[in-house]
Amino acid sequence: MYRGIWVCIFTAALSLAAMNAARAAGFDCSKASTEAERLICSDQQLSALDDRLSEAWRQAWKKSADREALKKAQQEWIKNGRDVCQDVPCMQKAYETRIASLTNPEDQNSAQPQVQANTTPQEMLDEANRQFTFRKQPINPLSLKELYPWNSDKLPGPVAVDVEGTTANTSRYLAEVSIDARGFICAVQTDGAEKTTVCYKRLGTLANGVHVVQTWSSGSGTMVATDLILVKFMIDTEYPDGMKATGRNRLIMMRVGAFGLGDRYKGTVEVRPNEISIGAGGERKKTEVIRFK
């Protein structure tokens, strides 16, 4: 009899634990569909912060005189504040900043994510290496496209870009940048009737600090060119007109390698501290391992 009672209690406890695991955040974790949501559900601190944010949002909604603006600002924060984070410390800071904004009674309408200019070159470099972002925004996919080698040429041509000069609000690199459900950073650029789409995902970082990025690009045709591009960041100084004495510190993204994967490559790329394994798939008939010293 007692064994039967304990079995029932144990079964009920397991069911409750499963329910709590499924709802480890302010949303249903069993339905998590983006990289950001899966990261939240995998970390107890982030789950707790998401619950606090949900409550702060409810209270702000009750008090807001302009709910439409508040709703729009929350959507902007999710897109450009939360979802650009790729690790726990970044997302934790994003949540804490947003909660503070929502709970401040003197600034209920300030839901726009605050993008602050970094004050030192080292901060710019650290952010780029840690998050692959610049001033809390994803690196523009079009800047990576600028570094693609041409198949018809033996040598690559351009090998580096000024990251600030390639942000999505500049005329040359103007694009609509978004993060899709797979966690890919995508840019759509329209020039007349022609539309170009470039997406990327950072796969990892080698022990030497080089970032391994897989890219997909398509234009008016049916081909989706898939490439692997290796880049590293550095700080240098430019001397533009009017700043000859002091110059301008700038963040540079330099291409140090590239590998064509073919049209719609479906294989698997694995990044380890000192090597990259490119699995067979599509035009690649066998696995290739590239080792780095």
Three state DSSP letters for the chain: CHHHHHHHHHHHHHHHHHHHHHCCCCCCHHHCCCHHHHHHHCCHHHHHHHHHHHHHHHHHHHHCCCHHHHHHHHHHHHHHHHCCCCCHHHHHHHHHHHHHHHHCCCCCCCCCCCCCCCCCHHHHHHHHHHHCEECCEECCHHHHHCCCCCCCCCCCCCCEEECHHHCCCCCCCCCEEEECCCCCEEEEEEECCEEEEEEEEEEEECCCCCEEEEEEEECCCCCCEEEEEEEEEEEEEECCCCCCCCCEEEEEEEEEEEEEEEECCCCCEEEECCEEEECCECCECCCEEEECC
User: Does residue 182 register a pLDDT over 80?
Assistant: no
User: Does residue 228 register a pLDDT over 80?
Assistant: yes
Full residue range of the structural domain in which residue 253 is found: 121-291
User: Does residue 66 register a pLDDT over 90?
Assistant: no
Give yes or no: residues 255 and 138 share one domain.
Answer: yes
Is residue 112 assigned to a domain?
A: no
Comparing 18 with 185, which gets the higher pLDDT?
185
Give yes or no: residues 171 and 214 share one domain.
Answer: yes
User: Does residue 51 register a pLDDT over 60?
Assistant: yes
Give yes or no: residues 133 and 239 share one domain.
Answer: yes
Confidence of residue 242 (pLDDT cuts 50, 70, 90): low
Is residue 113 assigned to a domain?
A: no
User: Does residue 9 register a pLDDT over 70?
Assistant: no
User: Does residue 119 register a pLDDT over 80?
Assistant: no
Comparing 111 with 263, which gets the higher pLDDT?
263
Is residue 134 assigned to a domain?
A: yes
Is residue 39 assigned to a domain?
A: yes
Give yes or no: residues 146 and 264 share one domain.
Answer: yes
Confidence of residue 212 (pLDDT cuts 50, 70, 90): very high
Confidence of residue 176 (pLDDT cuts 50, 70, 90): confident
End-of-domain residue from the set 38, 70, 103: 103
Give yes or no: residues 80 and 199 share one domain.
Answer: no
Q: Which of 119, 93, 109, 174 is nearest to 141 (CA)?
A: 174
Is residue 135 assigned to a domain?
A: yes
Comparing 272 with 71, which gets the higher pLDDT?
272
Q: Give the single-character DSSP code of 150.
A: P
Give yes or no: residues 131 and 17 share one domain.
Answer: no
Is residue 86 assigned to a domain?
A: yes
Comparing 36 with 199, which gets the higher pLDDT?
199
- Mean local confidence (pLDDT), 201-230: 93
- 3-7, 31-35, 141-145, range with greatest mean pLDDT: 141-145
Give yes or no: residues 158 and 41 share one domain.
Answer: no
Amino acid 270: pLDDT: 95
The tens digit of pLDDT for each residue in 78-101 reads: 877 788 787 788 888 888 888 888
Give yes or no: residues 21 and 99 share one domain.
Answer: yes
Give yes or no: residues 130 and 99 share one domain.
Answer: no
Give yes or no: residues 97 and 131 share one domain.
Answer: no
The tens digit of pLDDT for each residue in 260-290 reads: 999 999 999 999 999 999 999 988 889 999 9
Average pLDDT score over the chain: 81
User: Does residue 108 register a pLDDT over 70?
Assistant: no
Amino acid 106: pLDDT: 54
Is residue 115 assigned to a domain?
A: no
Give yes or no: residues 62 and 207 share one domain.
Answer: no
Using an 8 Å Cβ cutoff, are 147 and 163 in contact? no
Is residue 116 assigned to a domain?
A: no
Confidence of residue 11 (pLDDT cuts 50, 70, 90): very low
Confidence of residue 120 (pLDDT cuts 50, 70, 90): confident
End-of-domain residue from the set 103, 132, 166: 103
pTM of the predicted model, to two decimals?
A: 0.64
Amino acid 231: pLDDT: 97
Q: How many domains does the chain have?
A: 2
Give yes or no: residues 196 and 88 share one domain.
Answer: no
